[in-house]
Amino acid sequence: MRAVIFVNGTIHDYSELAAWLRADDYTIAADGGARHCAALGILPAVLVGDLDSIAPELLAEYEQAGVTIERHPPRKDETDLELAVRRAVADGATEILLLGALGGRLDQTLANLLLPARHEWPVPILLADGRQLARVLRGGESVTLTGAPGDTVSVVPMSAEVTGIHYTGLDYPLVNATLPLGSTQGVSNRLADPSATIRIASGILLVVQENGG
């Protein structure tokens, strides 16, 4: 089961966002992310958070519609998104896609980007924004990317260093490379072929692909 979590960030184009959705998605609204569900005409299965950001009239609509509401106190140790991810895992998600996780407050955006890199999550967490899709690789993992030649592909280290980085199918190859935290060497590569593979030996690497459309 794929869970899609709507987050209270900025979405500029709902038609692009809708392209990521599937009919059988298990949808969760993380507090104010419910506004994106409303814009798309989606009734989420679950609403999670301290409910300080959702419009009162939308909350009332959800209560009347029988949406499961997981309410948390305002004084808590996790963001609404982290609580929503935990709910998705508890409900049996095998993959989680975050939508609306960027934009708005810088601290929230950074926290949302770093959240998928936490080691404890038992399922992959992906983040989509516009035509971009981000995912995290951990040591020993690989990913195959598909798209059109020319699509932008970037990698960003999310640990002190990432070792054994190996690309195939990208314009600028890396073979057994090491990138330290803060390096921009992996930014703005491109697909050279309809598919490409990235693998790493150790560390945590954020991989972002943008479809040229």
Summarised one tens digit per residue, pLDDT across range 46-75 is 999 999 999 999 999 999 999 999 999 989
Q: Which range of residues forms the domain containing residue 121?
A: 2-130
pTM: 0.93
Summarised one tens digit per residue, pLDDT across range 192-209 is 999 999 999 999 999 999
> Same domain, yes or no, for 58 and 120?
yes
> Same domain, yes or no, for 112 and 146?
no
pLDDT at 23: 94
Domain boundary among 130, 145, 178: 130
> Same domain, yes or no, for 148 and 107?
no
Contacts of 204 (CB under 8 A, 6+ apart): 117, 136, 137, 138, 139, 157, 158, 159, 162
> Same domain, yes or no, for 67 and 19?
yes
- Looking at the structure of the chain, the number of domains it has is 2
**CB atoms closer than 10 angstroms to residue 74:** 8
**Cα–Cα dist 34/59, whole Å:** 9
Q: What is the CATH number of the domain that holds 155?
A: 3.40.50.10240
Domain boundary among 130, 164, 187: 130
